[in-house]
Amino acid sequence: MDDAIVLSDGEEDECILIEESTVVTESRDEKICSTSFSLVDAVNKAPPPRQRSDAIPKKDWLEEEMDELEELMKKNRENNQKTAIFGAGNDDLRDIDLDFLNSNRPSTSSTIAQNKPEKRKLTEDEKEKQRKEKETRKIEREMSAAINSKCELYTYCHIGKTVLDTLPGLEAEMRVLYLERKIENQMKIEKDLGTRIEWRRKCIEMKEDENGRNERFEYMSTQNLFAVVVPAATLKDVIASNSLSDFIVEQRTHFQNGRCTMLIVSYGRLDIHKKRLHPLSLEIYERHRAQIVQIDNIPELALFTAQYLRSLARREKKRMAMVDEENSGGGGGGATSHKLQYQGEKGIVIGTRQEIVSDWWSKMLSTIDRLSDGQRRAILQLIPDPIAGIDKYSKMDYSLAHKEISDLVAENGRRVGPAIAHRLLTMLTDETGTAIVE
């Protein structure tokens, strides 16, 4: 007890006020905790005021209050110690006794650090090797995406400005359609293409420089397909003047990409009879590898360009798959895994020559798609021997041979038709075996 102030007035009872200042010292910081304790309540709890004549009672109540005061001071010191350690109720983290924490915290990190092997520092050659491998993987990922998931983003449609000027509204329709397909940047307008539409693909390859590092190599590859947009009335006049072949040859001179396919887009209704248009289409495809496509309105033309862009973009993946199959199967004794397998019934091997030829010729005709049994029997009556048929139709004019076979009537009264006749003539007259019929 530092100070005791006596508050009394004459004969009245005394009221004692006790003040105490306690200094709590930690290892680093010093905190002063002031505690004030008043015995007013204790006085009120005391026995009734005594008279002068009464004997002085024992002050057991004062001792009890002093014991209670000591307990409070002890709890206060414990709370201050916890506050200094854990920062409870204190926003200033600087009051935390870090030495105390470090001394009482288990040293798990040091144990782990001792058990963990020390990482070896890489040499400059190893770092350079890692950089090369990282760059190589990056280029390989882009090459894979260019032919798989993002193949359309690496293919572009180049359209001549003359086409857009001739057909108002086509540019806006194409931009809206390409935006819906999320290929809005794949449309390119060029002034020097005239009425042509071309598709080009951005190729990504990896090559090794002089220092032995792999670097990215990019170039544009024009696809072996292009289209020429011609109004239907103009195309009709060209066909009427028998100058369609000259028109095709002239257009192909501006597109020098080897063996390519040309699409003649007839914008509008082509007013030509089918009997004349069909043999003409077969002729220009056989001679010039050209096709006629009829499109009636602008939305169809815009969709035409987008569909060919997607088809050409996915074609590269199929081509790479075929190359991989050929390479993987070409190592064992020269045999490849890509073989032509006949799934039909085998022909007879015992009999006269006429019986064997007729049986095998019938089996060959059964492989033609969409050829019914009645049509097959009608063809067998017209051409019983395929070798004789080859000699006959190789010397005959194509249009006459095509008309003879297409007008052939089967048992059910149905004609063989021009499509089957063209396939059959191709089978009999093709000399290289590489003719493609679409």
Give the model's pLDDT for residue 322: 82
CA distance 436 to 290: 12
Distances (CA, A) of 335 to 271, 317, 320, 434: 53, 24, 19, 21
Give the model's pLDDT for residue 93: 47
3-state secondary structure of 262: strand
User: What pLDDT digit, counting tens, does each position of 308-328 carry?
Assistant: 999 999 888 888 888 777 777
Q: Which of 411, 318, 408 is nearest to 373 (CA)?
A: 411
Q: CB of 69 within 8 A of CB of 41? A: no
User: What pLDDT digit, counting tens, does each position of 198-254 carry?
Assistant: 999 998 888 877 777 788 888 888 898 999 999 999 999 999 998 999 999 998 888
107-121, 256-270, 280-294, 363-377, range with the lowest pLDDT: 107-121
Q: How confident is the model at residue 70 (pLDDT cuts 50, 70, 90)?
A: confident
Phi/psi of residue 344, nearest 5 degrees = -85, -170
**353-429 belongs to which homologous superfamily?**
Crossover junction endonuclease EME1, DNA-binding domain (1.10.150.670)
Q: What is the mean pLDDT of the chain?
A: 77
Q: What is the DSSP letter of 328?
A: H
100-104, 234-238, 378-382, range with the lowest pLDDT: 100-104
Give the model's pLDDT for residue 59: 53
Phi/psi of residue 339, nearest 5 degrees = -120, 150
Give ∠ CA 64-70-75 in degrees, rounded to 5.
Answer: 130
Q: CB of 362 within 8 A of CB of 385? A: no
Exposure pattern of 144-158 as b/e (b: 16+ CB <10 Å)?
A: eebbeeebbebbbbb
CB atoms within 10 A of CB 12: 9
Residue 192 has pLDDT above 70, yes or no: yes
Distances (CA, A) of 136 to 63, 140, 212, 321, 345: 88, 6, 12, 22, 52
Higher-confidence position of 117 and 249: 249
282: its two tokens: 């077969």
- Kindly list the strands in the beta sheet with 196-208, ordered across the sheet, starting from the edge strand earlier in the chain: 187-190, 155-160, 196-208, 214-231, 261-267, 290-295
Strands of 175-258 (E only): list them: 187-190, 196-208, 214-231
300: its two tokens: 């169809």
Q: Average the pLDDT over 153-158 and give the result.
A: 93
- H or E stretch at 259: none
Beta bridge partners, 214, equal: 208
Higher-confidence position of 44 and 374: 374
Give the model's pLDDT for residue 56: 52
395: its two tokens: 């010397």
Give the model's pLDDT for residue 321: 82
Give the model's pLDDT for residue 169: 92
Give the model's pLDDT for residue 82: 65
Q: CB of 390 within 8 A of CB of 361? A: no
Q: CB of 416 within 8 A of CB of 408? A: yes
The single residue listed with the structure tokens 């066909």 is 239
Beta bridge partners, 16, equal: 6
Give the model's pLDDT for residue 432: 65
Which of 119-133, 219-233, 251-265, 350-364 is the most confident on average? 219-233
As a whole-number percent, the residues of the chain with pLDDT over 70 amount to: 71
Domain ranges of the chain: 3-104, 129-322, 353-429
Higher-confidence position of 20 and 299: 299
CATH of 129-322, one of 3.30.70.360, 3.40.50.1100, 3.40.50.720, 3.40.50.10130: 3.40.50.10130
Give the model's pLDDT for residue 57: 53
Residue 343 has pLDDT above 90, yes or no: no
Give the model's pLDDT for residue 157: 94
Q: Average the pLDDT over 370-391 and give the result.
A: 89
Residue 108 has pLDDT above 70, yes or no: no
Q: How confident is the model at residue 107 (pLDDT cuts 50, 70, 90)?
A: low
Distances (CA, A) of 224 to 104, 256, 276, 285: 79, 9, 28, 15
CB atoms within 10 A of CB 416: 23
Higher-confidence position of 436 and 199: 199
User: What pLDDT digit, counting tens, does each position of 409-424 carry?
Assistant: 988 888 999 888 988 8
Residue 55 has pLDDT above 70, yes or no: no
Query: What pTM was estimated for this model as a whole?
Result: 0.49
Give the model's pLDDT for residue 45: 54
279: its two tokens: 């043999």
386: its two tokens: 């395929």
CA distance 390 to 179: 53
Residue 49 has pLDDT above 60, yes or no: no
3-state secondary structure of 56: coil
